[in-house]
């Protein structure tokens, strides 16, 4: 027994080097495949300024090979790390410290990488045999050591491959008093996060528990001093528990277990008792025998607060535990916590308000950006041929006025050439023949929007019919949406139907001449917002290119009478 303890102590002493780092000096070192592992090359004060070089040779060869770092093998100062270690890493490793002029003797380790047993939580060849435990004594298992620099994100403990949830995250599993049932294999798995990936470090210790070599001493369970938070009028029960011994070899003995309060022994509970000690109760758990005596407060009173109550256990001596009741209070938040909380609340509220304001101010830009990113297309499978039917004054004087130029050149050039829309402009996309009324109604039905270019001279039988048909379909039949482009203020358009006033602000776009010409102007953004969502692409209408359309537009500017059939 003493030789075992001496060997372990010697191993621990050799593990610590002058720099304070823990380095493995025993050989061979057994590790599991596919796990994180690291070597540590010891360095003393006299070795400062030297560089560590690592060499590896196979066990059946004499030739050494310089270890070079890569994504899996990390050369970090005096540490050699594997992310992870594999079976081919088995071999004899040497660490040599050099600075060009001085070289220290190389230290050598033998590394044995063991194949993992994937059907079990531990591999027999990797199990360490711990020092035998003795019934009634304490025992502690420590998880495998890791460098301070690694990021341990989880620790899990298993006994015979069954996880102990209560030990999760703890570096040590401590058993106060061993029983024969505590024997088994204890496995600790550390999870380490490195460059976004998780690696394990597993260690398993086998514990053999021997019978008691000395008499078990009964004792009170828990600390000597307890403080309980309570409230006036609340019922409270205090537990005093004593360990009596192990069931296997338990022998009855004489002892006393009682409560003392306010300088006197507290009486056993009666029917009308408000403060009393209950009858002693014995119970068995995990091969151990316990006794418990409870102190019962039927209703906590003011005089009970801050008074001490002592549980006394006597058996060849006295052992005591003190319990104190304290009033539970809800203290005000510290000033700095309250101030910080208020500042954070105000900041979050301000940010939320600003976000809402920005969304309202830049609503159109955000919607257009969302359409571009998502590639949204509202024109698929709706049975429509045109994105918009354009209504404008066709018999103005002079015949090629500003409104006509806007309708036949500026509007289609931008919407069709740059944003991929398909417009129906009768003066441009017309072939001779057809009935005016039937054709206009037909082409409005085949369009998704009705664009009205409202100018100072906007009045004629044909355009008024287009307007009335479009408004009826928009406001009554709800088959089309109207977009009103103002070339003049609506206040000057008393001759127009009053139903135009029902259009929302998002359906009215104001032309501001030179200011509206750029593609990123507010005019084009609002017009695109009112148009159906469609991926931006050059438009082609019935196989006729935009260049052909502009040629035809120039021709129609000198034609005295337009034809009336879109195709």
Task: Write out the two tokens for 348.
Answer: 């979050």
List, as own/partner pairs, every contact residues 3-11 make where C-beta atoms lie below 8 angstroms and the sequence separation is at least 24, other chains included.
4/131, 5/131, 8/131
Q: What's the start-to-end Cα distance of the chain, in Å?
A: 105
**Domain with 69 in it:** 2-114
Helix, strand and coil in the chain, % to nearest 5: 25, 35, 40
Note whether residue 186 is domain-resident. Answer: yes
pLDDT of residue 338 exceeding 50: yes
What does 429-444 look like in DSSP terms, one character per residue? S--S-S-HHHHHHHHH
Per-residue confidence at 375, pLDDT binned at 50, 70, 90? confident
| Pair 299, 235: CB distance under 8 Å | yes
| Pair 549, 567: CB distance under 8 Å | no
Note whether residue 565 is domain-resident. Answer: no
Q: How many domains does the chain have?
A: 5
Helix (H), strand (E), coil (C) string for 367-424:
HHHHHHHHCCCCCCCCCCCECEEEECCCCCCCCCCHHHHHHHHHHHHHHHHHCCCCEE
Q: What is the mean pLDDT of the chain?
A: 79
Question: Do 107 and 28 fall within a single domain?
Answer: yes
Buried b (16+ CB within 10 A) or exposed e, 298-330: eebeeebeeeebbbbbebeeebebebebeeeee
Per-residue confidence at 393, pLDDT binned at 50, 70, 90? low
pLDDT of residue 6 exceeding 60: no
Which residues are tagged catalytic? 466
Note whether residue 119 is domain-resident. Answer: no
SS3 452: strand
Question: Do 205 and 228 fall within a single domain?
Answer: no
List, as own/partner pairs, every contact residues 241-244 make where C-beta atoms lie below 8 angstroms and the sequence separation is at least 24, other chains included.
241/290, 241/291, 241/292, 242/218, 242/290, 242/291, 242/292, 242/313, 243/177, 243/218, 243/219, 243/288, 243/289, 243/290, 244/218, 244/282, 244/289, 244/290, 244/291
**Total H helices, total E strands in the chain:** 9, 32
Least confident of 130-144, 320-334, 546-560: 546-560
Where is the domain boundary, 69, 93, 114?
A: 114
What is the pLDDT, as a whole number, of residue 554? Answer: 40
CB atoms within 10 A of CB 255: 13
Note whether residue 566 is domain-resident. Answer: no
Question: Do 428 and 525 fall within a single domain?
Answer: yes
Q: Is the peptide bond before 8 cis (omega within 30 degrees of 0)?
A: no
Torsions phi, psi for 417 (to 5 deg): -75, -40
Per-residue confidence at 8, pLDDT binned at 50, 70, 90? very low
What is the pLDDT, as a whole number, of residue 272? Answer: 81
- C-alpha dihedral sign at 36, 41, 42, 45: negative
| Pair 205, 130: CB distance under 8 Å | yes
Question: Do 456 and 530 fall within a single domain?
Answer: yes
pLDDT of residue 22 exceeding 50: no
The residue among 438 and 348 whose pLDDT is bigger is 348
Helix (H), strand (E), coil (C) string for 197-239:
EEEEEEEEEEECEECCCCCCCCEECCCCEEEEEECCCCCEEEE
Distance (Å, whole) CA 79 – CA 40: 5
| Pair 396, 404: CB distance under 8 Å | yes
Question: Do 285 and 317 fall within a single domain?
Answer: yes
Question: Do 380 and 520 fall within a single domain?
Answer: yes
Question: Do 233 and 317 fall within a single domain?
Answer: yes
Note whether residue 567 is domain-resident. Answer: no
Closest CA to 313 of 246, 268, 259, 266: 259
Distance (Å, whole) CA 278 – CA 84: 59
Distance (Å, whole) CA 40 – CA 16: 11
Note whether residue 291 is domain-resident. Answer: yes
Strands in 51-57's sheet, in edge-to-edge order, are 29-32, 107-114, 91-98, 51-57, 65-66
Distance (Å, whole) CA 231 – CA 305: 9
| Pair 466, 458: CB distance under 8 Å | no
Closest CA to 227 of 325, 331, 328: 325
Distance (Å, whole) CA 308 – CA 326: 10
521-559 pLDDT, tens digit per residue, is 899 999 999 999 888 765 444 344 444 444 444 433 333
Question: Do 172 and 35 fall within a single domain?
Answer: no
Question: Do 482 and 517 fall within a single domain?
Answer: yes
Question: Do 539 and 467 fall within a single domain?
Answer: yes
Where is the domain boundary, 143, 177, 210?
A: 210
Least confident of 263-267, 320-324, 334-338: 334-338
Note whether residue 253 is domain-resident. Answer: yes
Question: Do 295 and 347 fall within a single domain?
Answer: no
pLDDT of residue 221 exceeding 70: yes
pLDDT of residue 24 exceeding 60: no
Q: Tell me which residue has tokens 């495998």.
A: 144
> Rounded to two decimals, what is the model's pTM?
0.38
Q: Please return the burial class of 404, using the count of CB atoms within 10 Å of its CB with bins 0-12, 13-18 and 19+.
A: buried
- Tally of CA atoms within 13 A in the half-sphere of 203 that contains its CB: 17
Where is the domain boundary, 168, 192, 210?
A: 210
Question: Do 177 and 248 fall within a single domain?
Answer: no
CATH number where 445 lies: 3.40.50.10140
CATH number where 152 lies: 2.60.40.10
What is the pLDDT, as a whole number, of residue 107? Answer: 83
């Amino acid at each position: 027994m003493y030789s075992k303890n001496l060997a372990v102590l010697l191993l621990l002493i050799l593990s610590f080097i002058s720099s304070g780092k823990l380095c493995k000096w025993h050989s061979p070192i057994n590790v599991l495949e596919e796990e994180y592992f690291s070597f540590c090359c010891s360095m003393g004060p006299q070795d400062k300024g030297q560089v560590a070089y690592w060499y590896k040779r196979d066990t059946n060869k004499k030739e050494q090979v310089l270890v070079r770092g890569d994504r899996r093998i990390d050369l970090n100062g005096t540490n050699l790390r594997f992310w992870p270690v594999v079976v081919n890493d088995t071999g004899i490793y040497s660490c040599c410290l050099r600075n060009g002029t001085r070289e220290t003797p190389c230290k050598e380790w033998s590394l044995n990488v063991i194949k993992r047993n994937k059907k079990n939580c531990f591999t027999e060849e990797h199990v360490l045999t711990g020092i035998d435990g003795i019934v009634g004594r304490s025992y502690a298992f420590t998880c495998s050591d890791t460098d301070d620099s690694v990021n341990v994100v989880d620790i899990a403990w298993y006994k015979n491959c069954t996880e102990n949830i209560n030990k999760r995250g703890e570096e040590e599993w401590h058993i106060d008093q061993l029983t024969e049932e505590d024997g088994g294999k204890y496995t600790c798995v550390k999870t380490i996060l490195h460059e976004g990936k998780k690696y394990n470090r597993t260690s398993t210790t086998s514990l053999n528990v021997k019978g008691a070599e000395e008499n078990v001493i009964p004792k009170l369970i828990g600390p000597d001093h307890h403080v309980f938070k309570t409230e006036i009028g609340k019922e409270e029960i205090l537990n005093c528990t004593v360990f009596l011994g192990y069931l296997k070899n338990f022998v009855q003995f004489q002892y006393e277990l009682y409560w003392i309060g306010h300088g006197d022994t507290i009486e056993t509970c009666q029917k009308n008792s408000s403060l009393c000690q209950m009858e002693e109760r014995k119970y068995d758990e995990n091969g151990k025998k316990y006794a418990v005596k409870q102190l019962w407060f039927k209703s906590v009173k003011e005089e009970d607060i801050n008074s001490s109550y002592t549980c006394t256990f006597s058996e060849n001596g006295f052992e005591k535990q003190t319990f104190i009741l304290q009033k539970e209070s809800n203290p005000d938040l510290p000033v700095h916590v309250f101030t910080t909380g208020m500042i954070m609340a105000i900041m979050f509220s301000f940010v939320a308000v600003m976000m809402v304001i920005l969304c309202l101010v830049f609503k159109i830009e955000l919607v257009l950006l969302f359409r571009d990113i998502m590639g949204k297309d509202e024109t698929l499978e709706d049975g429509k041929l045109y994105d918009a039917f354009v209504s404008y004054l066709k018999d103005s004087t002079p015949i090629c006025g500003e409104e006509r130029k806007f309708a036949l050149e500026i509007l289609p050039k931008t919407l069709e050439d740059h944003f991929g829309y398909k417009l129906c402009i009768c003066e441009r996309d017309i072939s001779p023949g057809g009935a005016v009324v039937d054709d206009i109604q037909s082409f409005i039905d085949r369009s998704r929007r009705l664009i009205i270019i409202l100018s100072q001279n906007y009045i004629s039988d044909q355009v008024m019919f287009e307007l009335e048909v479009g408004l009826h379909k928009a406001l009554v039949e709800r088959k089309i949406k109207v977009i009103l482009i103002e070339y003049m203020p609506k206040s000057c358009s008393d001759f127009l139907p009053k139903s135009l006033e029902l259009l929302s602000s998002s359906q009215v776009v104001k032309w501001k001449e030179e200011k509206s010409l750029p593609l990123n102007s507010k005019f084009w953004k609002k017009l695109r917002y009112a148009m159906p969502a469609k991926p931006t692409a050059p438009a082609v209408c019935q196989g006729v290119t935009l260049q052909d359309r502009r040629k035809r537009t120039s021709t129609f500017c000198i034609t005295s009478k337009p034809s009336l059939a879109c195709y």
